[in-house]
Structure 1
């Protein structure tokens, strides 16, 4: 078994910086989890019209409803088998914002039928987004979002472009500092920039073979629909 990210990217995975390759090799086969600890230089929002949307998402640990600078954060990437037998990797980010911490939760699975990494957002996996990964010439990783879908009970609908957001994530490794750099930007095609953050972190790798996933990292509800 290989990591879901290598399986999705194929030969392009080998063009990533070696440290990026290791980070995105976390999985059941490697037996490793990755914990990133660092600082977001900036967490920003678009205009006032996006704030109700961000507050609503924040209720289910989707997006980050507050802004800030020099915000300490932890990102936890742990592999596990979900209740449907799929290899899954957590992307749980905890931001220590003024007024209290806030989490942005996601869980990822490989979806060969969709030709993407499937990113389930939030505590209840109500939103599913296709992610497409590519290697940049400098060895950094570029992630772009595709179609978004909303699932709740019998409801299964595609999120229209005019209310959705196109996400772009760039992750690189800085040889000079020995730290990873990350930049996230989410833009609506009609209303412009919605949300984003950028910062840096150091990575620690943890052996998770034979260990159960910490319960608070697992979603409250799991969605089988891709």
Structure 2
């Protein structure tokens, strides 16, 4: 049976053993489907509805057009394998803003290159991130974007310079409250932070720790 965090464990290789014991245990738990509940201390985009102008290009379920504090969220994941045998993780993040619910979906696949994962964002997978996975001194999972591309009409267009975006994510552990933590920021060199969310969550679905 597939492990919950197989895609990241496969990318990290031997470095996975450096993860915090709680994070490693949760990622190593068996089960294809999982659900987590949590609260983002802050979440969303400062550009608000202006962000919706990009939807015709990037497709649905990739952006949020709200920003808020203390935003409840649900993370639903399904793990499996690609036709080539690489680990795959499909995720849906449900942001329950006051007055509306919005979603971001992605598909993470362990790369053939050690340390890297391929992340397709949105319901149509039009934005592709190549991200490097590493382990912090505290044992947290860190992900940093190395390349970004837009996939349209069968073509793959590299996004660099003012068109690029750098995503930094740290998935950690709060020992005092015994819960996972998350801190994600997506920055554009011209516009600054275009999306962020940070807060905490706990697994509550099948096989939750």
Shift of 1:41: 1.0
Q: What SS does the aligned partner of 1:101 have?
A: strand
Q: What SS does the aligned partner of 2:89 have?
A: strand
Match of 2:172 in 1: 172
Shift of 1:7: 1.8
Aligned ranges 1:4-83 → 2 under 5 Å: 4-25=7-28, 30-46=30-46, 48=47, 52-53=50-51, 55-57=53-55, 60-81=60-81
- Partner Cα distance (1:99, 1:59) in 2: 22
- Partner Cα distance (1:146, 1:15) in 2: 22
- Partner Cα distance (1:75, 1:202) in 2: 9
- Partner Cα distance (2:88, 2:152) in 1: 20
Shift of 1:137: 0.8
Match of 2:92 in 1: 92
Aligned ranges 1:63-142 → 2 under 5 Å: 63-81=63-81, 87-113=87-113, 116-142=116-142
- Partner Cα distance (1:44, 1:100) in 2: 12
Alpha carbons 2:89, 2:107 under 8 Å: kept: yes
Match of 1:220 in 2: none
Shift of 1:51: 5.5
Alpha carbons 2:59, 2:124 under 8 Å: kept: no
Shift of 1:15: 0.8
TM-score by length of 2: 0.85
Change (3 A) 1:120 1:140: same
Shift of 1:114: 7.8
Alpha carbons 2:11, 2:114 under 8 Å: kept: no
Q: Structure 1, residues 124-172: CA drift from partner, whole Å, max 9, x if none?
A: 1111111111111111111111111111223221112312210101111
Match of 1:206 in 2: 206
- Partner Cα distance (1:77, 1:111) in 2: 19
Aligned ranges 1:145-156 → 2 under 5 Å: 145-156=145-156
Q: What SS does the aligned partner of 1:138 have?
A: coil
Q: What SS does the aligned partner of 1:91 have?
A: strand
Q: What SS does the aligned partner of 1:195 have?
A: strand
- Partner Cα distance (1:135, 1:93) in 2: 23
Q: What SS does the aligned partner of 2:162 have?
A: coil
- The root-mean-square deviation of aligned C-alpha atoms, in Å, is 2.4
Shift of 1:85: 6.4
Alpha carbons 1:55, 1:65 under 8 Å: kept: no
